Chains A and B, each alone.
Chain A
Amino acid sequence: MLLDLAAPDFPWIALSVAIPLFAALIAALSSALAPVVAMIAALLCLGAALWTAVLVTTHGAQEVAVGAWPPPLGIVLRADGLAVAMLITAGLVSIAAFAFARQAFSARTQTPETRSAYSFWPLGLCVLAGVNAAFVSNDLFNLYVALELTTIAAAALVAMSGSRAAFEAAIRYLMFALLGSLFYLLGVVLTYSTHGVLDIRLLAISAESGPSTIAAAALMSAGLMTKMALFPLHAWLPPAHSAAPAPASALLSALVVKPPFVILLRIWFEAMPELVTPTLAQAFGALGACGVLLGSILAMRQERLKLVVAYSTVAQLGYLVLVFPLAGGGGAQQPWAAGAWTGAIFLTLSHALAKGAMFLAAGAFVEARGNDRLDSLVGLAREMPISCFAFGLAAVSLMGLPPSGGFTGKYLLLTSSFASGQWWWGIVLVVGGLLSAVYLFGPLSLMFAREPALAVTPVSRARQSIALLLGLLSILLGLFSEAPYRLLQVDRPGAAAEGFT
């Protein structure tokens, strides 16, 4: 047989990069075909990712040596549970974003072709290709290129609306991101020069912690923290994510900030777990906690919905790095291993789905009211119940209320924090949840208010339902969390269960 699609070693994960890339190129050639091509590519990506999930859970982690050159000479793409889970999420969010974008960015409805209708699709597909590449790659330098691809396409999406604020936000985003890239690249350079390898797995074998390894890890982490907008390097995120058009915001907030976190996990948990000292882990946690508190407080003070949602991303990303102090914090009492690590990834996944839903719902509100000021939300619960429901479901997941993926993640992290006696991180988790309730129930209350009546431009039910489906998925992730849990355990790094010792 020429193509054995069911073979456990069929390079599906390579396709999840190549397909959106190819689609981006086609979309750049023909803007008439672009929306269809983008949708097909995203569906194929999701299909490939789901099928890989099946393969990976039955046969274990999958590796593709690109060009049949094994590392250290070549680059290896690796599908472990974490990578596949992220690929599935990326597929889902991009399908939703592309479906929502069809109306606003369709060349068919706009002749002659317009700037945004042309450029949205190739850029969106480049983002998808870039994040997928970052999820599956196991090569530090290749990850750099993948991050750059994502960053440039993402910054262009920020600038897409063509307003002055959008250009400023995009420039600011790029300045931070490029600085982050430089730090990351410097770290990669030191790593290669010290160990002679770039492959994360090989690095794990050869890494002994000399001063250059420590410096490399620190520099790479600084770069990645900038790109994932971790406190205190978060200032670029809210203007950027709120300036973009809704489907682009969904891609940015749901996907673009995730690869840096995944790489951070891979570097510390897979490549250099022995470098993490308790002080370092607590320091990571402290940054995360500051991000949670500051992001939430700033989110409360915003008067525009998209800014609220964007600041909430800053807060939510803070939770993720709590994995560093909490990893391995479980006892014999817990029937699961690697609670904190799995919990952080659950939060990552559910944040992606929920934030995607929230930005798409916000996009629908903007279309209906013409702006995203909070006081324009009044009365929308009656006029646009579907979008409001989507926003509500996403809010439930972000607040970490049950049943939702956010709750599963928070429960696991919380258990680890109590089990390891680090109750202060537990307080951060609980208080963070309460703060998010404050800034998310505010907009929801306004939607239920009846006075004053405002003008509304109708938004089709089908398009509103897209956000609803994403929101529903973030809930279902918590209700049916066993399968995702099992997937994430495939080839989980040792440090995830044992902690850093």
Chain B
Amino acid sequence: MQRIGVFVCWCGSNIAATVDVKKVAETLGKEPCVVYYENYQYMCSEEGQNKIINAIHEHKLSGIVICSCSPRMHEATFRRTAQKAGLNPYMVEIANIREQCSWIHKDMATATEKAIILGRAAIAKVHLNTPLQAGESPVVKRALVIGGGIAGIQTALDIADAGFEVDIVEKKPTIGGKMSQIDKTFPTLDCSACILTPKMVDVAQNEKIHIYSYSEVAAVKGFVGNFDVTIKRKARYVKEELCTGCGACTEKCPQKKVPNDFNLGLDNKHAIYIPFAQAVPKVATIDPDYCMMLKTGKCGVCSKVCAAGAIDYKQQDELVQQQYGAIVVATGYNPIDLKNYDEFAYSQSPDVVTSLEFERLTNAAGPTGGVLLRPSDRQHPHTIVFVQCVGSRESGEGCGKTYCSKICCMYTAKHAMLTREKYPDTEVYVFYIDVRTPGKNFDEFYRRAVEEYGVHYIKGMVGKVSPENGKLMVQASDLLDNKQLKIEADLVVLAAAIEPDPSARPLATMLTTQMDTNDFFTEAHPKLRPVESATAGIFLSGCCQGPKDIPETVSQASACAAKVIGLLAKDKLLGNPCVAESNELMCNGCSSCEKVCPYGAISYVDKEFKMPNRTIAVRRVANVNPAVCQGCGACTVACPSGAMDLKGFSNSQIMAEVDAICK
């Protein structure tokens, strides 16, 4: 039997002017199990709270009802008050007689009557309240960053800086990501490698950071604070700890016809390779699809020339098991495949390139040594056409993306500007639909391209590119001058839309995080929680969440790190005790609840039950992980047997409220 205390607040005159607080208190005092009632001017004041504490002590109250303002206002206050008096904070219920009564009604009799009913409903509920303990779970003080691009690098560095261990899992042989392929960065035109590679070195030298390069996440279990991750380290056929990165093997390898993916296939590499000079870790990797030794067993040159004895043709994929408190997704982006854009002749002419390929063609470490040459005949191009929005901003019915890829306007301005600066004899045309330059110093940058560098910006989409006699005929309309242009170009550069990395979708499934229809990860709140996923403990960094440029990526990466540090700084996580709970005796194991859970908090176990006649039956039953459950209650309605209930908002509590109101 509960011993309930009722406290009616006047809220100055806010409540008392329209509600007869004395009458409310007295009437509610007559309700069953109510052993104490009181009304006071400001229940939330220290004086008011002391009244509650004293009453709890004096009358041995087991539950209290406060008739006051909205629980969104002071529920937490009164819960703390109860706790101070030694009462479980979840034995407090609030009847909202201010926002939902005194403030919206004018007639005192009506408002008083309603206040009494609301009080009754709260009393009915508190009758059925049970003390709840917020579950505690320890936090593993280690973070996992998936993806070693600039987003992952920045997040890892910031987390490590706060003193926590970080592991980076990168699927390529080196970290660095897309930024390592870029030549210069807008709007300052500083060299990308010059600002990125020191960070990569920082990562390599940081004792708190461990890099799993050439590795992938294979499985994720667990929940916030306690993720259990399996990392697959792909066989690179080189012992990472022995390789000194001297490069002798890569020079001597006889297999030289391997398309160089770092240069986007614009040149070739050897079957054993180090992607680029500043790679981290600087370790060679053998491409098993091309290595003669691995394919036919005949060669072994690299093994012979390796002074460190690092080559191991028998290396196998290896699975590493590791615990983490937080996981950061930084899987980045890729330009879309342009196979469906044949009107731009991408597959017909090597001189039609994507912007990323153009970056490699202008990069000093690229296939042309930084001299801008056409891929087809290695001649200097004199007319270059840039086409914007290839595959972006489409209706979604075709093969393109509905969103704006955001970075193309700026990098195209950069390309155009750099080309004109280095090769003033080149005519540069940029065909645009809109030029979008929101960002610090961005529009100024674009205007400089037009005004100082004489780049021809033409509003209108290119309709057709056709290779003719070693040239590229570009047909486009100039919408502002209302004429059709035919430009004989030497090089056409397509600003391909960017899309999330294909590894993101299976990863989202493993992490039980949500994605939008474009496979970008969905943030917990588009405005207020932009770096967290809806799944606790999973954070988002960089382009996996949406198209971003480098400054934005880095600031999001640091924001993400701040959130991770905030989580890892805690020794224990205190959960929300109002979570779902499954009654094993009633559970059918039918999986209905699991399907509606947005957090993947429900799993199933086979459990033995003692049955009549000393028999034992094994049944599949649902198990809610209270650390993951957020307490929405979707499962409680999906459950046909009523085995699933929500603490703090149980079926019987809500029905008691219904009964009290409808009486």
* Real binding pair: no
Interface, chain B (partner A; CB < 8 A): none
